[in-house]
A and B are shown apart, each in its own frame.
Chain A
Amino acid sequence: MDYAFFPGCIAKNVYPGIEKATRIVFEKMNVGLHDYPYSCCPPPGVVACYDKDTWYALGARNLALSEPDNRDIMTICAGCYGTLHNVWHELQHNDAKRAYVNEHLGRIGMTYKGTSRPIHFVDLLDGMRDTITQNKEVDLDLRVAVHYGCHYLKPTTVTGENSESPMLLDEIVGLVGCKSIPFKDRLTCCGAGGGVMSGEPELSLKIMERKLKNIKKADVDCIVNICSFCHMNFDQSQKKLESFDIPVLHLNQLLGLAFGVKHKHLGLHMNLVSTRDLVKKVKGAKKGRDEE
Protein backbone atom coordinates (compact mmCIF):
# COMPACT_ATOMS: atom_id res chain seq x y z
CA MET A 1 0.00 0.00 0.00
CA ASP A 2 1.31 3.44 -0.95
CA TYR A 3 0.13 6.89 0.04
CA ALA A 4 1.19 10.45 -0.47
CA PHE A 5 1.97 11.63 3.05
CA PHE A 6 0.65 15.00 4.16
CA PRO A 7 2.24 15.65 7.58
CA GLY A 8 0.86 19.17 8.04
CA CYS A 9 2.77 22.12 9.45
CA ILE A 10 2.29 21.33 13.16
CA ALA A 11 3.67 17.79 12.90
CA LYS A 12 6.55 19.01 10.72
CA ASN A 13 7.41 22.27 12.39
CA VAL A 14 6.22 22.16 16.01
CA TYR A 15 5.80 18.54 17.16
CA PRO A 16 8.16 16.55 14.90
CA GLY A 17 7.65 13.51 17.16
CA ILE A 18 4.25 13.10 15.51
CA GLU A 19 5.80 13.02 12.03
CA LYS A 20 8.47 10.61 13.20
CA ALA A 21 6.01 8.31 14.98
CA THR A 22 3.83 8.23 11.87
CA ARG A 23 6.76 7.25 9.65
CA ILE A 24 7.86 4.49 12.04
CA VAL A 25 4.40 3.06 12.67
CA PHE A 26 3.37 2.98 9.02
CA GLU A 27 6.67 1.50 7.93
CA LYS A 28 6.14 -1.31 10.43
CA MET A 29 2.71 -1.89 8.93
CA ASN A 30 4.17 -1.96 5.40
CA VAL A 31 2.48 1.21 4.20
CA GLY A 32 4.72 3.32 1.95
CA LEU A 33 4.55 7.06 2.66
CA HIS A 34 5.78 9.43 -0.05
CA ASP A 35 6.72 13.10 0.29
CA TYR A 36 5.62 15.91 -2.02
CA PRO A 37 6.40 19.63 -1.97
CA TYR A 38 3.27 20.41 0.00
CA SER A 39 2.41 23.81 1.37
CA CYS A 40 0.38 23.82 4.59
CA CYS A 41 -3.18 22.63 3.99
CA PRO A 42 -3.91 25.82 4.10
CA PRO A 43 -5.42 26.38 7.55
CA PRO A 44 -9.23 26.46 7.59
CA GLY A 45 -9.32 28.91 10.49
CA VAL A 46 -7.25 31.59 8.87
CA VAL A 47 -7.33 31.11 5.11
CA ALA A 48 -10.89 29.77 4.67
CA CYS A 49 -12.25 32.39 7.05
CA TYR A 50 -10.44 35.19 5.17
CA ASP A 51 -10.99 34.07 1.61
CA LYS A 52 -12.56 30.78 0.63
CA ASP A 53 -11.56 30.97 -3.03
CA THR A 54 -7.89 31.16 -2.06
CA TRP A 55 -8.46 28.20 0.26
CA TYR A 56 -9.89 26.14 -2.61
CA ALA A 57 -7.03 27.01 -4.97
CA LEU A 58 -4.21 26.30 -2.49
CA GLY A 59 -5.94 23.14 -1.27
CA ALA A 60 -6.35 21.95 -4.87
CA ARG A 61 -2.65 22.53 -5.52
CA ASN A 62 -1.81 20.14 -2.67
CA LEU A 63 -4.36 17.59 -3.84
CA ALA A 64 -3.07 17.70 -7.42
CA LEU A 65 0.57 16.99 -6.54
CA SER A 66 0.19 13.19 -6.26
CA GLU A 67 -2.33 12.83 -9.10
CA PRO A 68 0.34 11.85 -11.69
CA ASP A 69 1.37 8.98 -9.39
CA ASN A 70 -2.23 7.94 -8.65
CA ARG A 71 -1.67 8.22 -4.92
CA ASP A 72 -4.30 9.11 -2.35
CA ILE A 73 -3.22 11.48 0.40
CA MET A 74 -2.94 10.43 4.01
CA THR A 75 -3.39 13.17 6.62
CA ILE A 76 -2.64 12.96 10.34
CA CYS A 77 -4.40 16.15 11.48
CA ALA A 78 -8.12 16.85 11.55
CA GLY A 79 -7.42 20.41 10.40
CA CYS A 80 -5.50 19.30 7.30
CA TYR A 81 -8.13 16.65 6.67
CA GLY A 82 -10.88 19.24 7.07
CA THR A 83 -9.28 21.46 4.46
CA LEU A 84 -8.26 18.82 1.94
CA HIS A 85 -11.42 16.76 2.21
CA ASN A 86 -13.77 19.74 2.09
CA VAL A 87 -11.92 21.19 -0.90
CA TRP A 88 -11.98 17.82 -2.67
CA HIS A 89 -15.69 17.35 -1.90
CA GLU A 90 -16.64 20.84 -3.10
CA LEU A 91 -14.65 20.47 -6.32
CA GLN A 92 -16.38 17.14 -7.03
CA HIS A 93 -19.74 18.86 -6.95
CA ASN A 94 -19.08 22.41 -8.08
CA ASP A 95 -17.98 22.73 -11.71
CA ALA A 96 -17.72 26.51 -11.58
CA LYS A 97 -15.36 26.33 -8.61
CA ARG A 98 -13.31 23.63 -10.28
CA ALA A 99 -12.96 25.82 -13.38
CA TYR A 100 -11.93 28.74 -11.18
CA VAL A 101 -9.30 26.66 -9.42
CA ASN A 102 -7.92 25.30 -12.68
CA GLU A 103 -7.73 28.76 -14.19
CA HIS A 104 -5.40 29.77 -11.35
CA LEU A 105 -3.41 26.51 -11.25
CA GLY A 106 -2.93 26.89 -15.01
CA ARG A 107 -0.85 30.00 -14.27
CA ILE A 108 1.80 27.72 -12.73
CA GLY A 109 1.40 24.87 -15.19
CA MET A 110 -0.76 22.65 -12.98
CA THR A 111 -4.18 21.03 -13.39
CA TYR A 112 -6.54 19.65 -10.77
CA LYS A 113 -8.39 16.48 -11.73
CA GLY A 114 -9.70 15.25 -8.38
CA THR A 115 -8.33 11.73 -8.84
CA SER A 116 -6.32 11.65 -5.59
CA ARG A 117 -8.52 11.49 -2.52
CA PRO A 118 -7.57 12.69 0.93
CA ILE A 119 -7.93 10.13 3.69
CA HIS A 120 -7.60 10.59 7.44
CA PHE A 121 -5.16 8.02 8.83
CA VAL A 122 -7.62 6.75 11.43
CA ASP A 123 -9.96 5.69 8.62
CA LEU A 124 -7.04 3.86 7.09
CA LEU A 125 -6.34 2.15 10.42
CA ASP A 126 -9.98 1.07 10.54
CA GLY A 127 -9.22 -1.37 7.73
CA MET A 128 -5.91 -2.48 9.24
CA ARG A 129 -6.99 -3.81 12.62
CA ASP A 130 -5.34 -7.18 12.12
CA THR A 131 -2.07 -5.50 11.12
CA ILE A 132 -2.17 -3.39 14.27
CA THR A 133 -2.71 -6.46 16.41
CA GLN A 134 0.08 -8.34 14.65
CA ASN A 135 2.53 -5.48 15.28
CA LYS A 136 1.58 -5.07 18.92
CA GLU A 137 4.41 -5.95 21.27
CA VAL A 138 3.05 -4.40 24.46
CA ASP A 139 -0.44 -4.33 25.91
CA LEU A 140 -0.37 -0.75 27.12
CA ASP A 141 -3.02 -1.10 29.84
CA LEU A 142 -3.64 2.66 29.98
CA ARG A 143 -6.74 4.66 30.80
CA VAL A 144 -7.06 7.21 28.02
CA ALA A 145 -9.27 10.16 27.12
CA VAL A 146 -9.77 10.18 23.37
CA HIS A 147 -10.24 13.33 21.33
CA TYR A 148 -11.49 13.12 17.75
CA GLY A 149 -11.05 16.69 16.50
CA CYS A 150 -14.05 18.55 15.09
CA HIS A 151 -13.00 18.63 11.47
CA TYR A 152 -12.46 14.90 11.30
CA LEU A 153 -16.09 14.37 12.28
CA LYS A 154 -17.92 17.40 10.90
CA PRO A 155 -19.71 18.57 8.80
CA THR A 156 -21.17 15.08 8.41
CA THR A 157 -22.69 16.01 5.04
CA VAL A 158 -19.07 15.97 3.84
CA THR A 159 -17.35 13.48 6.18
CA GLY A 160 -20.11 10.86 6.38
CA GLU A 161 -19.14 10.26 10.03
CA ASN A 162 -21.35 9.88 13.08
CA SER A 163 -20.60 13.10 14.90
CA GLU A 164 -22.60 12.45 18.08
CA SER A 165 -21.36 8.98 19.02
CA PRO A 166 -18.25 8.00 17.08
CA MET A 167 -16.49 4.83 18.28
CA LEU A 168 -13.62 4.26 15.84
CA LEU A 169 -10.86 5.88 17.89
CA ASP A 170 -12.14 4.22 21.07
CA GLU A 171 -11.91 0.88 19.29
CA ILE A 172 -8.44 1.49 17.88
CA VAL A 173 -6.96 2.35 21.28
CA GLY A 174 -8.67 -0.79 22.58
CA LEU A 175 -6.68 -2.90 20.11
CA VAL A 176 -3.46 -2.00 21.93
CA GLY A 177 -4.83 -2.63 25.39
CA CYS A 178 -6.01 0.87 26.30
CA LYS A 179 -9.35 1.66 27.83
CA SER A 180 -11.17 4.73 26.55
CA ILE A 181 -12.69 6.41 29.59
CA PRO A 182 -15.90 8.39 29.07
CA PHE A 183 -15.91 11.99 30.28
CA LYS A 184 -18.35 14.86 30.22
CA ASP A 185 -18.73 16.64 26.87
CA ARG A 186 -16.08 14.41 25.37
CA LEU A 187 -16.84 15.50 21.82
CA THR A 188 -16.69 19.26 22.30
CA CYS A 189 -14.16 21.38 20.50
CA CYS A 190 -10.73 21.94 22.10
CA GLY A 191 -11.01 25.66 21.35
CA ALA A 192 -8.20 25.95 18.81
CA GLY A 193 -10.09 26.16 15.53
CA GLY A 194 -11.56 28.97 13.50
CA GLY A 195 -8.53 31.16 14.08
CA VAL A 196 -9.60 31.52 17.74
CA MET A 197 -6.35 30.17 19.19
CA SER A 198 -4.31 32.70 17.24
CA GLY A 199 -6.83 35.56 17.22
CA GLU A 200 -8.33 35.26 20.70
CA PRO A 201 -6.01 33.16 22.84
CA GLU A 202 -7.82 33.93 26.12
CA LEU A 203 -11.16 32.67 24.82
CA SER A 204 -9.47 29.61 23.38
CA LEU A 205 -7.89 28.88 26.74
CA LYS A 206 -11.25 29.13 28.54
CA ILE A 207 -12.78 26.54 26.22
CA MET A 208 -9.77 24.30 26.78
CA GLU A 209 -9.83 24.75 30.56
CA ARG A 210 -13.41 23.49 30.77
CA LYS A 211 -12.44 20.52 28.63
CA LEU A 212 -9.38 19.70 30.75
CA LYS A 213 -11.40 19.88 33.99
CA ASN A 214 -13.77 17.25 32.59
CA ILE A 215 -10.86 15.06 31.51
CA LYS A 216 -9.15 15.40 34.88
CA LYS A 217 -12.26 14.05 36.63
CA ALA A 218 -12.02 10.93 34.46
CA ASP A 219 -8.61 10.17 36.03
CA VAL A 220 -6.81 9.11 32.86
CA ASP A 221 -3.16 8.34 32.11
CA CYS A 222 -3.16 10.44 28.96
CA ILE A 223 -5.11 12.20 26.24
CA VAL A 224 -4.99 10.54 22.81
CA ASN A 225 -5.78 12.60 19.73
CA ILE A 226 -5.89 12.21 15.96
CA CYS A 227 -5.22 15.87 15.20
CA SER A 228 -1.83 17.58 15.44
CA PHE A 229 -3.47 20.97 15.90
CA CYS A 230 -5.61 19.80 18.85
CA HIS A 231 -2.47 18.05 20.14
CA MET A 232 -0.58 21.34 20.19
CA ASN A 233 -3.47 23.06 21.93
CA PHE A 234 -3.82 20.35 24.60
CA ASP A 235 -0.09 20.36 25.35
CA GLN A 236 0.60 24.11 25.22
CA SER A 237 -2.57 25.14 27.07
CA GLN A 238 -1.79 22.91 30.05
CA LYS A 239 1.52 24.71 30.38
CA LYS A 240 -0.25 28.07 30.31
CA LEU A 241 -2.96 27.03 32.78
CA GLU A 242 -0.42 25.47 35.17
CA SER A 243 -3.07 23.38 36.97
CA PHE A 244 -3.02 20.31 34.74
CA ASP A 245 -0.40 17.72 33.88
CA ILE A 246 -2.12 15.18 31.65
CA PRO A 247 0.27 13.81 29.00
CA VAL A 248 -0.83 14.30 25.40
CA LEU A 249 -0.19 11.66 22.74
CA HIS A 250 -1.02 11.60 19.08
CA LEU A 251 -2.50 8.19 18.23
CA ASN A 252 0.56 7.32 16.15
CA GLN A 253 2.78 7.94 19.19
CA LEU A 254 0.55 5.63 21.25
CA LEU A 255 0.73 2.96 18.55
CA GLY A 256 4.50 3.43 18.46
CA LEU A 257 4.68 2.62 22.20
CA ALA A 258 2.51 -0.44 21.66
CA PHE A 259 4.72 -1.55 18.78
CA GLY A 260 7.69 -1.47 21.14
CA VAL A 261 9.32 1.71 19.80
CA LYS A 262 11.47 3.65 22.28
CA HIS A 263 9.71 6.74 23.58
CA LYS A 264 12.58 9.01 22.55
CA HIS A 265 12.22 7.90 18.93
CA LEU A 266 8.61 9.01 19.16
CA GLY A 267 9.53 12.45 20.44
CA LEU A 268 7.51 12.01 23.63
CA HIS A 269 10.19 13.83 25.62
CA MET A 270 9.56 16.93 23.48
CA ASN A 271 6.08 17.54 24.86
CA LEU A 272 5.67 20.43 27.30
CA VAL A 273 3.65 18.27 29.70
CA SER A 274 5.97 15.56 30.97
CA THR A 275 5.33 12.04 29.70
CA ARG A 276 7.86 10.49 32.10
CA ASP A 277 5.38 8.71 34.40
CA LEU A 278 3.46 7.43 31.43
CA VAL A 279 6.57 6.05 29.79
CA LYS A 280 7.58 4.43 33.10
CA LYS A 281 4.20 2.73 33.30
CA VAL A 282 4.50 1.43 29.73
CA LYS A 283 8.02 0.16 30.41
CA GLY A 284 6.62 -1.67 33.44
CA ALA A 285 4.00 -3.31 31.22
CA LYS A 286 6.69 -4.29 28.71
CA LYS A 287 8.92 -5.70 31.44
CA GLY A 288 6.03 -7.71 32.87
CA ARG A 289 5.38 -9.14 29.44
CA ASP A 290 9.03 -10.03 28.86
CA GLU A 291 9.20 -11.90 32.18
CA GLU A 292 6.16 -13.99 31.41
Chain B
Amino acid sequence: MDKTMDDIIREGNAYACIQCGRCTGSCPSGRECGLRTRKIIHMARVGIDVFKTEELWDCTTCFTCQERCPKEVKITDIIIELRNLAVKNSYYPSMADVPKIIIQNLYRTGNGQPLSPEVSKLRSIIGLDKEPNDIAKDKEALADFQKLLDGLPLMRWGGI
Protein backbone atom coordinates (compact mmCIF):
# COMPACT_ATOMS: atom_id res chain seq x y z
CA MET B 1 0.00 0.00 0.00
CA ASP B 2 2.54 2.55 -1.15
CA LYS B 3 1.66 6.16 -0.52
CA THR B 4 2.60 9.00 -2.85
CA MET B 5 3.63 12.46 -1.71
CA ASP B 6 0.15 13.63 -2.64
CA ASP B 7 -1.52 10.95 -0.49
CA ILE B 8 0.63 11.96 2.47
CA ILE B 9 -0.19 15.66 2.15
CA ARG B 10 -3.91 15.03 1.71
CA GLU B 11 -4.30 12.44 4.46
CA GLY B 12 -2.23 14.56 6.82
CA ASN B 13 -4.40 17.64 6.17
CA ALA B 14 -1.31 19.65 5.23
CA TYR B 15 -3.26 22.03 2.99
CA ALA B 16 -4.95 23.42 6.12
CA CYS B 17 -1.59 24.65 7.47
CA ILE B 18 -1.52 28.42 8.02
CA GLN B 19 2.24 28.47 8.69
CA CYS B 20 1.73 29.89 12.19
CA GLY B 21 4.80 28.08 13.54
CA ARG B 22 3.27 26.78 16.73
CA CYS B 23 4.64 23.35 15.78
CA THR B 24 8.20 24.62 15.53
CA GLY B 25 7.80 26.56 18.77
CA SER B 26 6.68 23.37 20.54
CA CYS B 27 9.34 21.08 19.13
CA PRO B 28 11.81 19.75 21.77
CA SER B 29 14.20 18.61 19.08
CA GLY B 30 14.07 21.81 17.01
CA ARG B 31 15.44 23.71 20.04
CA GLU B 32 18.64 21.76 19.71
CA CYS B 33 19.04 21.27 15.95
CA GLY B 34 17.95 22.35 12.49
CA LEU B 35 14.56 20.65 12.44
CA ARG B 36 11.82 23.14 11.52
CA THR B 37 8.49 21.36 11.34
CA ARG B 38 6.70 24.39 9.86
CA LYS B 39 9.20 24.41 7.02
CA ILE B 40 8.80 20.68 6.40
CA ILE B 41 5.03 21.07 6.00
CA HIS B 42 5.54 24.06 3.72
CA MET B 43 8.09 22.26 1.53
CA ALA B 44 5.83 19.21 1.27
CA ARG B 45 2.88 21.31 0.12
CA VAL B 46 4.72 23.21 -2.58
CA GLY B 47 5.98 20.00 -4.14
CA ILE B 48 9.58 19.90 -2.94
CA ASP B 49 10.87 16.36 -2.31
CA VAL B 50 11.15 17.00 1.39
CA PHE B 51 11.67 13.30 2.09
CA LYS B 52 15.25 13.81 0.94
CA THR B 53 16.11 16.20 3.78
CA GLU B 54 18.08 14.81 6.70
CA GLU B 55 16.26 17.03 9.26
CA LEU B 56 13.30 14.69 8.86
CA TRP B 57 15.21 12.19 10.98
CA ASP B 58 15.72 14.65 13.88
CA CYS B 59 12.10 14.23 15.01
CA THR B 60 11.56 12.19 18.18
CA THR B 61 7.90 11.63 17.19
CA CYS B 62 6.70 13.08 20.51
CA PHE B 63 3.49 14.33 18.82
CA THR B 64 3.52 17.70 20.65
CA CYS B 65 3.31 19.61 17.35
CA GLN B 66 0.38 17.51 16.18
CA GLU B 67 -1.46 18.02 19.46
CA ARG B 68 -1.00 21.77 19.41
CA CYS B 69 -1.66 22.47 15.74
CA PRO B 70 -4.65 24.85 15.58
CA LYS B 71 -5.60 23.54 12.12
CA GLU B 72 -5.41 19.84 12.97
CA VAL B 73 -2.58 19.11 10.59
CA LYS B 74 -1.27 15.65 11.44
CA ILE B 75 2.30 16.84 11.52
CA THR B 76 3.96 13.88 13.24
CA ASP B 77 1.98 11.41 11.14
CA ILE B 78 3.21 13.26 8.05
CA ILE B 79 6.83 13.11 9.23
CA ILE B 80 6.57 9.35 9.81
CA GLU B 81 5.02 8.83 6.36
CA LEU B 82 7.73 11.00 4.77
CA ARG B 83 10.34 8.81 6.46
CA ASN B 84 8.67 5.72 5.00
CA LEU B 85 8.81 7.38 1.59
CA ALA B 86 12.47 8.27 2.11
CA VAL B 87 13.31 4.66 2.96
CA LYS B 88 11.48 3.38 -0.12
CA ASN B 89 13.49 5.78 -2.25
CA SER B 90 16.77 4.84 -0.56
CA TYR B 91 17.23 8.23 1.09
CA TYR B 92 18.52 6.89 4.35
CA PRO B 93 20.27 9.43 6.49
CA SER B 94 23.97 8.72 6.78
CA MET B 95 23.53 7.90 10.47
CA ALA B 96 20.98 5.14 9.92
CA ASP B 97 23.41 2.30 10.60
CA VAL B 98 22.23 1.72 14.15
CA PRO B 99 18.54 1.42 13.20
CA LYS B 100 19.67 -1.18 10.66
CA ILE B 101 21.35 -3.17 13.42
CA ILE B 102 18.11 -2.96 15.41
CA ILE B 103 16.19 -4.38 12.45
CA GLN B 104 18.76 -7.15 12.05
CA ASN B 105 18.41 -7.97 15.77
CA LEU B 106 14.65 -7.99 15.38
CA TYR B 107 14.91 -10.58 12.62
CA ARG B 108 17.51 -12.72 14.35
CA THR B 109 16.05 -12.77 17.89
CA GLY B 110 12.54 -11.33 17.66
CA ASN B 111 13.72 -8.35 19.73
CA GLY B 112 15.20 -5.07 18.56
CA GLN B 113 17.13 -5.09 21.81
CA PRO B 114 18.38 -8.65 22.31
CA LEU B 115 19.49 -10.28 25.54
CA SER B 116 23.22 -10.09 26.34
CA PRO B 117 25.07 -12.66 28.48
CA GLU B 118 25.63 -9.91 31.11
CA VAL B 119 21.94 -9.12 31.48
CA SER B 120 21.08 -12.82 31.43
CA LYS B 121 23.27 -13.11 34.54
CA LEU B 122 21.58 -10.11 36.16
CA ARG B 123 18.21 -11.70 35.48
CA SER B 124 19.12 -14.82 37.41
CA ILE B 125 20.61 -12.78 40.28
CA ILE B 126 17.22 -11.18 40.94
CA GLY B 127 15.34 -14.45 40.54
CA LEU B 128 14.05 -14.18 36.99
CA ASP B 129 14.49 -16.91 34.36
CA LYS B 130 17.89 -16.51 32.73
CA GLU B 131 16.14 -16.14 29.42
CA PRO B 132 12.85 -14.26 29.18
CA ASN B 133 9.86 -16.42 28.40
CA ASP B 134 9.43 -14.87 24.98
CA ILE B 135 9.91 -15.42 21.26
CA ALA B 136 13.71 -15.72 21.49
CA LYS B 137 13.22 -18.82 23.64
CA ASP B 138 10.38 -20.31 21.58
CA LYS B 139 12.17 -21.48 18.44
CA GLU B 140 8.98 -22.44 16.64
CA ALA B 141 7.43 -19.03 17.23
CA LEU B 142 10.68 -17.38 16.12
CA ALA B 143 10.75 -19.38 12.87
CA ASP B 144 7.16 -18.30 12.14
CA PHE B 145 8.02 -14.71 13.00
CA GLN B 146 10.94 -14.78 10.55
CA LYS B 147 8.68 -16.26 7.89
CA LEU B 148 6.22 -13.44 8.54
CA LEU B 149 8.96 -10.81 8.31
CA ASP B 150 10.37 -12.36 5.12
CA GLY B 151 7.17 -11.47 3.29
CA LEU B 152 6.84 -7.94 4.71
CA PRO B 153 8.11 -4.75 3.04
CA LEU B 154 10.56 -3.79 5.81
CA MET B 155 13.03 -6.45 4.69
CA ARG B 156 12.97 -5.01 1.18
CA TRP B 157 13.14 -1.34 2.14
CA GLY B 158 15.34 -1.83 5.16
CA GLY B 159 18.06 -3.11 2.86
CA ILE B 160 18.78 -6.03 5.16
Q: Which residues of A does B touch, CB under 8 Å?
A: 7, 9-10, 12-14, 16-17, 19-20, 23, 35-40, 42-54, 57-58, 61, 96-97, 100, 104-105, 107-110, 150-151, 154-156, 163-164, 185, 188-189, 191-196, 198-200, 203-204, 206-207, 210, 264-267, 270
Contact = CB atoms under 8 A, between A and B. Distances in A.
Contacts of A54: 149, 152-155
A35 B129 CA distance: 12
B103 to A, nearest CB: 6
B62 A193 contact: yes
A207 B32 contact: yes
Secondary structure at chain A's binding surface: helix, strand, loop or mixed?
helix
A116 to B, nearest CB: 17
A104 B62 CA distance: 30
Contacts of B116: 13
A186 B52 CA distance: 33
Nearest to B145: A39
B99 A199 contact: yes
A16 B32 contact: no
A58 B149 CA distance: 8
Contacts of B148: 57-58, 61, 104-105, 107-108
Given A16-B128, A61-B148, A104-B151, A37 B134 contact: yes
A43 B61 contact: no
Contacts of A49: 61, 80, 83-84, 87, 99
A16 B58 contact: no
Interface string B104-146: 0010001111111001001100111000111101100110110
Contacts of A189: 28-29, 60, 62, 64
B154 to A, nearest CB: 4
B63 interface: yes
A108 B144 CA distance: 6
Contacts of B138: 37
A194 B112 contact: no
Interface residues of B, number: 64
B59 to A, nearest CB: 5
A155 to B, nearest CB: 5
B58 A200 contact: yes
B60 A13 contact: no
Interface of B: 1, 28-29, 31-33, 57-64, 66-67, 76-77, 80-81, 83-84, 87, 93, 95-96, 98-99, 102-103, 106, 110-116, 119, 122-123, 126-128, 132-135, 137-138, 141-142, 144-145, 147-149, 151-155, 157-158
Contacts of A97: 1
Nearest to A156: B67
A46 B98 CA distance: 10
B153 A210 contact: no
B158 A50 contact: yes
Contacts of B29: 189, 191, 196, 203, 207
Contact of B127 (A10, A193, A196, A265): A265
Contact of A20 (B59, B126, B141, B149): B126
B66 A154 contact: yes
Given A49-B83, A51-B152, A109-B144, 16 more contacts: A12-B132, A13-B132, A49-B80, A49-B84, A51-B87, A53-B1, A54-B154, A104-B151, A156-B67, A189-B28, A189-B62, A196-B59, A198-B102, A203-B32, A210-B28, A267-B126
B134 A38 contact: yes
A52 B112 contact: no
Given A16-B123, A58-B149, A265-B127, A155 B67 contact: yes
B84 A199 contact: no
20 contacts: A13-B114, A16-B123, A39-B145, A44-B61, A45-B61, A49-B80, A49-B84, A96-B1, A107-B147, A108-B145, A150-B62, A154-B66, A155-B76, A191-B60, A196-B29, A199-B93, A199-B98, A203-B58, A265-B126, A270-B126
